[in-house]
Amino acid sequence: MQDRKTVIEELKAQIDRDKLPSHVAIIMDGNGRWAQKRHLPRTAGHKEGMERVKEIVEVASNLGIKYLSLYAFSTENWKRPEEEVNGLMKLLVQYLRMELNNLNKNNVKVKTLGNISGLPKLPREEVIRAVELTKNNNKMVLNIALNYGGRDEIIAGVKNILKDVKMGKMEIDKLNEEIFQDYLYTKDQPDPDLLIRPSGELRISNFMLYQIAYTEFWFSNIYWPEFKEENFYQAIIDYQKRDRRYGGI
């Protein structure tokens, strides 16, 4: 049986660096089930999931991915027990405090997707600090989706369009896809080429509903805390084997 290092090197060798997806999005799912399967508290799963975030961000940056979007906390996640929500917020603060200098040193720009005004004070301040510190970096954009919902994003965009029309800043008849994209959180970014979802679920869970019209999906039965470098490479390899026709022949 090959050791892990050999497997990783063999997978990396299969990747065509000229055909990398520009934008990869990941629904980081399965932390709680990973923990429960091991008779651990759900918080243990989230902590292990944070380790995977650190690993995959570094792997994606080193590979040459230009945009990486991570679904960290959805608008629906507020329905979870208060203890778990508080734990997730503490992990967000911990991740940013531990990794921010490293992200900045590696020329990674941190951006957010979602309504961060709805976050508690401390995590909100840490997120704003991370965005400000890294705003001039240009190797990779790391989008962290926080208090994010795809439907909310679209509705917010429509409301802002209506405000601009009312103020005379835009003519409604000139609205097209390109202009509409300027009202989304991903303004000035390409749509995801590849969406990765571990955990065995086969749904989108309200993530980037507008942007994924022609995104390639890659599903896996492993939980996010088990998703490592070699799994990321496998997703890229599978993506590169696909024929993206965008409705053509």
Question: 16, 31, 77, 101: which is the annotated catalytic residue?
Answer: 77
Query: In this structure, what is the dihedral angle of CA atoms 107, 135, 118, 46, given to the nearest 10 degrees?
Result: 0
| Burial of 204 (C-beta count, 10 Å sphere; 0-12/13-18/19+) | middle
In terms of phi and psi (left: phi > 0; alpha: psi -120 to 50; beta: otherwise), the region of 30 is left
Query: Is the distance from CB of 109 to CB of 134 less than 8 angstroms?
Result: yes
Our answer to whether residue 107 is catalytic in this structure is no
Q: Does the active-site annotation cover 243?
A: no
Of 3, 16, 29, 206, which is the active-site residue? 29
Please give the Cα distance from 220 to 35 (Å, whole number). 18
Phi, psi of 41 (to 5 degrees): -65, 155
How far is it, in rounded angstroms, from Cα 172 to Cα 168? 10
Looking at the annotation, which residues are catalytic? Answer: 29, 77
